[in-house]
Amino acid sequence: MTATKIRPQALAESVVPESNGERAVTGYVLGFLGSVAFLLLIPAGWARLDHLWAEDGARFAVDAIRFPAWQNVVDPYGGYLHLLPRLVAEVVALLPLEWTAAGFAVAAAVLRAVVALVTFAASGAYLRSTGLRFVLASLVVVLPAGNSETLNNMANLHWFLLYGVFWALLWRTGPRVPVALSVVLAALSSPLVFLLAPVALVRLFLPRKEVPIAFFGAVLTQGLVMLFAERTPYSQDAVDPVQVVLASLLRVPVVALTGSERVTAFYPAHGNLVVLGAVLVTGLPVVLGLWWGDRAGRALAAVATGYSALVILLCLVLNWSAVLQVQQPGVVISGQRYSIAPVLFLFTAMAVGLDAAPAVAWRRFTVRAGQWVVGILLVSSVIGYFQEPGPVLRGVPWDVSVEQGRAQCASGAADARLEHEPANWFFVVPCGQLE
């Protein structure tokens, strides 16, 4: 009987190991500051400081201005709760209205940087190479995907939170209360975190059960809300299985290597050769991880690959419309947010293979070559953030929109219309709340 009880715990110990508990405080602080600075100071990031994006304005900000906080935090939107964006909106609403765009941008950049730090800390139990851990964490910040749609806004932060919760559940030596709290906030802000329930279930067999228990409590709450909340589908277009598979390959392995914007040039010019090349380049390290990794590494590579495929397929099937077809002019620009979590999961599986360096010389050479490829990808992604003009928002600046709203009120209007990004988005507030 005792042996039977120990067996599941021993298996869980082997696939969810403990890290060495490093505490390089200075390195983490510098990494955090560097990440936030990068996200805010790149051209597209700088523009976000004065351009409010989508639901940050037309849902979270306007609700924080017009309605009580207790009502907002429990009010679902799009069929699920958005606790973290709502809490940020309540704080931002305390600032002068002109600072709203900057408030959301800074908050989103800070939280994305935290996800990167959690990734670095938790991956120490799986990856021997500090350099690879740094690259994997850095990709959370300089990811060559979703450079415009998900940059520095709370509306799309949940794509990064999903990945952060994945690592939080695997981080056995992390501080219990902060990690548990972050898991709860993320689970009550994302409709997809329930997919990580198998990982949390394994954690229940190990000591320090506070994090998985908090996870299941939050997921149950979010699940009940999703069960009864209304969700308006994006379209009524029939799902095309062939298009879904092809779109998935373009949005994950191809986008992982080129970025969302560059697919627009590569795919129309070279067709499915681009897909084949990307699958080979990204698939080889995954295979190496499954072949050479230890039990924990193989489990991580398999689970991360599975989540990469599952998340992109679910996103495309549940939100399918004709604009997601690969023959559209932008190829993967529409709905580029769907690439975020799947690409990060794919890089995780690749990192396991690139970290497994056996003693045989030619195998070590193969791994080192792959590490150089990923390093070059990281550098090119950073350069791309400074060169790619598409993600830079050029619509009406937020402070100008506020001035225009006050001019409307001064002319006798009862309400002010505040325009923001993307084009044709706006919200209306009573003039009394613009003072």
> Which of 21-35, 117-131, 275-289, 416-430 is predicted least confidently?
21-35
**In 3D, which of 388, 397, 375, 398 has the Cα closest to residue 147?**
388
Whole-number pLDDT of residue 148: 73
What average pLDDT score do residues 308-333 get? 90
Residue 96, by phi and psi: left (phi above 0), alpha (psi -120 to 50) or beta?
A: beta
Cα atoms in the 13 Å half-sphere on the side-chain side of 260: 25
**In 3D, which of 197, 202, 216 has the Cα closest to residue 10?**
202
Residue 147 — very low, low, confident or very high, per pLDDT cuts 50/70/90? low
Using a 10 angstrom Cβ sphere, with 0-12 exposed, 13-18 middle and 19 or more buried, the burial of residue 123 is: buried
Give the bridge partners for 417, in sequence order: 428
Of 212-216, 262-266, 373-377, which has the strongest mean pLDDT? Answer: 212-216
Whole-number pLDDT of residue 5: 47
pLDDT by residue (tens digit) across 134-145?
A: 989 999 999 878
pLDDT by residue (tens digit) across 265-305?
A: 888 888 889 999 999 989 988 998 898 888 999 999 999 99
Beta carbons within 10 angstroms of residue 273's beta carbon: 11
Whole-number pLDDT of residue 1: 41
Q: Average model confidence (pLDDT) for the chain? A: 89
Instruction: Confirm if 349 and 282 have CB atoms less than 8 A apart.
Output: no
Residue 311 — very low, low, confident or very high, per pLDDT cuts 50/70/90? very high
What average pLDDT score do residues 2-29 get? 71
Residue 22 — very low, low, confident or very high, per pLDDT cuts 50/70/90? low
d(CA 375, CA 398): 37
Percent of the chain with pLDDT over 90: 64
Whole-number pLDDT of residue 20: 66
Whole-number pLDDT of residue 23: 65
Whole-number pLDDT of residue 3: 47
Whole-number pLDDT of residue 260: 84
> What letter does residue 239 receive in the DSSP assignment?
P
Whole-number pLDDT of residue 21: 58
d(CA 31, CA 50): 25
pLDDT by residue (tens digit) across 323-367?
A: 899 888 887 888 889 999 999 999 999 999 988 867 665 556 666
